[in-house]
Amino acid sequence: MGELSAAMARVPADEVDREIELWLGRISQALDLDRSAIYERDSAGQPVRVTHTWRRPDFPAFPRNFDPVKFFQVTVDWVMAGNPITFSRPTEIPPKLEDARRFVERWGPKASAVIPMWGGGRVIGAASFGKFRSARQWPPELLDHLALSVRLFGSAIERKQSEMAIRAVRTELRVASRRNVMSELVASLSHEINQPLGAILSNLGGVARLLSQGNPQPAMALEAVNSAIDDTKRTAEIVRRIRSMFKHHAEHKTALGIGTLIDEVVKLTTGEAALRKIALQVEVSPAAQRVIGDSIQLQQCVLNLVMNAFDAIAEANSARRAVIVKVAPEKTGWVGVSVSDSGAGIAPAVASRLFEPFVTTKKDGMGLGLLVTRSIVEGHGGRLWATPNPDQGTTFTFTLPVADRKRVGASRRA
């Protein structure tokens, strides 16, 4: 029991099912049983699914899609209401569970313990431990232990389900927020541009009508053309404004500690790293190194690269799950920030187009992250590139100008 409870407490969500099946087998073997199973049901009225099974080698498997409700509805309701059933021989099955008794007399087992499984304060299913070769006694102490085991299974399943639900919500949120930003942007852009375009069209349409009537009125035509010119300028101004929104202005740039900047990003991603079982390692040397840049934009760069690294590891389902963020001096006056992952490397299909817009291999990808990152880095005078790691995965590196370079240069000259 001690080992089982330790195993159920520490097993990661992804491996809960495998671990439960393993323990179902261990328990059944220790008790010399023939076939055991765990059933789950999402809610009343839903079918009951066989989710975990163990059987003695050479013992017949469960029929596919076995739904106990079809064979013994009354008994299923009884167990799902939280009542256990144990019998040492079929005649011990309570008369009110007539449907189970009929089934057991025909198909077995000769002895069984069926225990409701609780999870998150409700019965989420049941476990059955069956002996088919002979009758069997179920001493109270053994039943207590079985009940405790099933409770541990139930809470592990409950933990797995809530973790999966959180993961699904997080992914949805991330995708939704990206989509929202994009669709907002596109909507306001088309609204702003369509309006002057409409005016230009109607003015030029007017001029065309005047000319086609063979009776041009120069003053009117000129007015319409001038108005179209104004609107064209307005449209160009809107486009310029939108572009400058995404340009990186020197005025936000200050000298900032690269170590602090990386720490901020690490704080933002530790939750995600834990959820994805990835070790995030930081190596900053020297930690006090200062660079010139826009803190928010540079955080965005590191964040993009780290999230891509996480995705690469998750996608490859790598056994080694480590991301290393490193800061190290580059050529004189520059510092390099690199993010290495242990993923499967860059897909050959996109390798030559990584920094182009909308190039993605991900189901929910936008294919903008690397483009934005590179444009920010270049706005700071640096470069961004990717290299395959010698063993596994990829390293993305970008360079930034060091803040104290003039002083360093001066002291060297001195």
Please tell me what DSSP assigns to residue 317.
Answer: T
Q: Cβ distance 208 to 201 under 8 Å?
A: no
Distance CA 312, CA 321 (A): 10
**Calculated CA dihedral for residues 338, 344, 346, 347, nearest 10 degrees:** -170
Nearer Cβ to ligand ADP, position 167 or 362? 362
Q: Is 20 in the site for ligand ADP (CB under 6 A)?
A: no
Q: Give the other-Cβ count within 10 Å of 9's Cβ.
A: 11
Pattern 319-358, binding to ligand ADP, x per CB under 6 A?
Answer: ----------------------x-x-xxx--x---x----
Least CB distance to ligand ADP at residue 45 (A):
41
- CB contact at 8 A, 342 and 388: no
302 binds ligand ADP (CB under 6 A): no
Distance set, CA 3 to CA 6, 128, 247 (Å): 5, 21, 59
DSSP string, 56-71: -TTSPPPPTT--HHHH
Binding ligand ADP by CB under 6 A: which of 115, 370, 384, 403? Answer: 370
Q: Would you count residue 365 as binding ligand ADP (CB under 6 A)?
A: yes
Tally: H helices and E strands in the chain: 10, 12
369 binds ligand ADP (CB under 6 A): yes
Q: CB 240 → ligand ADP: shortest distance, Å?
A: 25
Q: Of these, 111, 301, 306, 312, which contacts ligand ADP (CB under 6 A)?
A: 312
Binding mask 382-411 for ligand ADP (x = CB under 6 A): ------------x-----------------
- Using alpha carbons, select from 131, 125, 130 the residue that is nearest to residue 150: 125
Output DSSP code: residue 95: G
Shortest spacing between CB 379 and ligand ADP, in angstroms = 17
Rg (CA), the chain: 33
What is the closest distance, in whole angstroms, from the C-beta atom of residue 329 to ligand ADP in the complex?
23
Q: Which is nearer to ligand ADP, 104 or 370 (CB)?
A: 370
Interacting residue with ligand ADP among 18, 122, 247, 362 (CB under 6 A): 362
Residue 319 Cβ vs ligand ADP, minimum distance, rounded to whole Å? 16
273 binds ligand ADP, rule: CB under 6 A: no
Q: How many residues bind ligand ADP (CB under 6 A)?
A: 23
CA distance 91 to 104: 10
Q: Which is nearer to ligand ADP, 147 or 366 (CB)?
A: 366
Say what angle helices 140-212 and 16-30 make with each other, to 10 degrees.
160
Distance CA 347, CA 233 (A): 43
Query: At closest approach, how far in Å is the CB of 54 from ligand ADP?
Result: 40
Residues lying near ligand ADP in the complex (CB under 6 A)? 304, 308-309, 312, 341, 343, 345-347, 350, 354, 359-362, 365-371, 394
